[in-house]
Amino acid sequence: YSTMLNWFKKIAILEGISFLVLIFNMLVLKPNYFDTYKLILKPFGMLHGVLFILYIILAFLLKDEKKWNLKDFSIIILASFIPFGTFWVDKKYLNQSA
């Protein structure tokens, strides 16, 4: 495995976790615990934004190395917009042998 692939795997998982934390924050905490919602939103929103950008950049950088065709690359990018999508990408595309 390349170092960049190892970073991409870590970023994909962290991006997915941060996305789920934000969804939980908006669907569970905001309606019920307004002050807690506000405390979580800024730091996790910023963290998720940075992780999302890193995920997209690393996907573009790995596209040629991993020989992802347009369909696979599009799925990998679109997965970052779907809850649990980056976990699926990790399992389907990133855990294959070189």
Residues 24-77 pLDDT 10s: 999 988 888 778 888 889 999 999 999 999 999 999 999 999 999 999 999 999
Q: Collapse the DSSP code of 63 into the 3-class scheme (helix H, G, I; strand E, B; otherwise coil) and give the result.
A: coil
Residue 14 lies in a domain: yes
Residue 27 lies in a domain: yes
pLDDT value of position 1: 57
Residue 98 lies in a domain: no
Range of the domain at 65: 3-93
| Rounded distance between C-alpha atoms, residue 38 and residue 92, angstroms | 35
Residue 24 lies in a domain: yes
Name the domain count of the chain.
1
Global pTM reads 0.88
Residue 34 lies in a domain: yes
Confidence bin at 98 (pLDDT 50/70/90): very low
pLDDT in tens, 86-97: 999 999 999 875
pLDDT value of position 30: 86
Question: Which of left, alpha, beta for 70 (phi over 0: left; psi -120 to 50: alpha)?
Answer: alpha
